[in-house]
Amino acid sequence: MFIHSGEKPHQCAVCWRSFSLRDYLLKHMVTHTGVRAFQCAVCAKRFTQKSSLNVHMRTHRPERAPCPACGKVFSHRALLERHLAAHPAP
pLDDT at 3: 63
Question: Residue 45 in 3-state DSSP?
Answer: coil
Question: pLDDT of the chain along its 90 residues, tens only?
Answer: 566 778 899 999 999 999 999 999 998 998 898 889 999 999 999 998 899 999 999 888 777 788 998 989 887 788 889 999 998 876
DSSP state of 61: -
On whether the pTM is more than 0.75, the answer is no
What are the C-alpha distances in Å from 74 to residues 41, 53, 63, 68, 69?
Answer: 20, 17, 9, 11, 13
Residues in the chain: 90
